[in-house]
Structure 1
């Protein structure tokens, strides 16, 4: 198994059905509680554990997950209010070096809970046409909102598996 991809790489769905979206939103809504349950009792030493050599530690993974969800929420709102907006990528590895990644994990976990309350509310109320709206990356590739929901479910499970790997090391 490739430790970088413990649940395989993301396979972006081309065709998406309503039942897929409902299942993904339900799973996405459980992220805060799953992440809190997995990390609430960790001590400072455990938070420094990594899932492989030269990887992010658990603390960095938690802060990264929240950063990623903030970006995803903003991308979705841009797609809902603009016609195929161009969205920026970001240097995740550089963000992980910033001082806010040294903050206690409860700061990011609280932010995630609040952010998810907004995000899940918005997702549950999207129309079929809104789910089809897109945003575009600088390389010209596009992503529909419905596909981005699948991406974030994968992203969450991907990093939760990394945390679990780190705890088992």
Structure 2
């Protein structure tokens, strides 16, 4: 289902405010809890933040491919494998947060210049099939909100541990 202009505007605003939500959630986590994992195979708050940085840099390329290329191919990736291979547990979360803020600001400014007729372009995602600009916006408007909630769930679990 294609987005109308008001729905797109609302999603773009959510997209813009995502980094502040994520940073606030990170700041609420005590230093002792930042690397704590709620269970085997689950990410710590730090790993969540670093994942978001990788995801944001890739998302910035994805929307540019969708807006500028003919029949773009959006390649999926295994986020758990990235977390392992790139050792998210040892990465700098403050650097990751700054990257997220910068990439989102730059992409937001780019999207502000996109003409209305550019929205609705389609490509193909290697994991989910047809994938367009509206799909991208729905996904990434919510992405940092979802991970903000994940960080807060981690914190609640850390505070409630026996």
What TM-score comes out, normalization by structure 1 length?
A: 0.83
Counterpart CA distance in 1 for 2:49 and 2:7 is: 26
Contact kept, 8 Å, 2:29 with 2:155, in 1: the verdict is no
More helix by share: 2
* 1:46 aligns to 2:33 (yes or no): yes
- Aligned-partner SS, 2:84: coil
Contact kept, 8 Å, 1:132 with 1:145, in 2: the verdict is yes
Aligned partner of 1:76 in structure 2 is 63
Aligned partner of 1:119 in structure 2 is 107
Distance 1:23 1:58, change over 3 A: same
What TM-score comes out, normalization by structure 2 length?
A: 0.87
Cα deviation, residue 24, structure 1: 0.8
Q: Deviations over 1:70-107 (max 9, x none)?
A: 11110111122211211211121011013452122101
Cα deviation, residue 40, structure 1: 2.5
Matched positions, count: 156
Contact kept, 8 Å, 1:52 with 1:166, in 2: the verdict is no
Counterpart CA distance in 2 for 1:49 and 1:150 is: 30
Aligned partner of 1:158 in structure 2 is 146
1:1-169 map, 5 Å: 14-40=1-27, 42-51=29-38, 53-99=40-86, 101=88, 102-139=90-127, 141-169=129-157
Distance 1:161 1:132, change over 3 A: same
Counterpart CA distance in 1 for 2:100 and 2:127 is: 29
- Aligned-partner SS, 1:121: helix
Q: Which runs of 5+ in 1 are unaligned?
A: 1-13
Cα deviation, residue 140, structure 1: 6.8
Counterpart CA distance in 2 for 1:28 and 1:50 is: 27
Cα deviation, residue 112, structure 1: 0.9
